[in-house]
Amino acid sequence: MSQHGNSTLGMVLMLLLLGSLTLHATRTQLSQGMVLVADTQKHHKDFAQAQAALQWGLMQSWPEASGWQCQQQPIHQWLSCLLQMEEGNALLSGQDEKSELRLWQWVSPRNQRLHPQAHGWIDYCPLSKPEHCQPQAGGAGL
């Protein structure tokens, strides 16, 4: 009779061990998933803020100037920068000041206003040298 009790107790302990291992694996997987969800949410927020900064930049008045020029929107903490180039082209960038994510738009400046070019939106800097993509490195002030 004691042998039946020991085998039952062994089976119960084994089930408890398997259950705790399963719970630990599930908890680990859930915590990794939560980090991924938080990263995704942050990216979506940063992307939306960069899009808003880009649209805000399109509405601003931009004087003709060489090199980068930037404007800040302090309430929303947007930063929009413009690089005017030859042949009536310019490159506008927009970002949240707290984020590294920046979006770009080819535009045509006319009468101190910007007009987006067709198919000109891009999510990476199209300039050939990465150092030219940094408004602060480009010599313009805020």
List the pLDDT tens digit at each of the 142 positions of the chain. Answer: 456 678 888 888 999 999 999 999 999 999 888 988 989 999 999 999 999 999 999 999 998 888 899 999 999 999 999 998 887 889 999 999 999 999 999 999 888 789 999 888 888 889 888 888 887 644 444 4
State the DSSP code for 62: -
pLDDT attached to residue 133: 84
Integer Cα distance of 37 and 19 in angstroms: 26
Integer Cα distance of 16 and 10 in angstroms: 10
pLDDT attached to residue 4: 65
pLDDT attached to residue 3: 61
pLDDT attached to residue 112: 77
pLDDT attached to residue 127: 87
CB half-sphere exposure, 135, CA atoms < 13 A: 24
pTM of the model: 0.72
pLDDT attached to residue 105: 94
Give the distance, in angstroms, between the CA of residue 117 and the centroid of all CA atoms in the same chain.
23
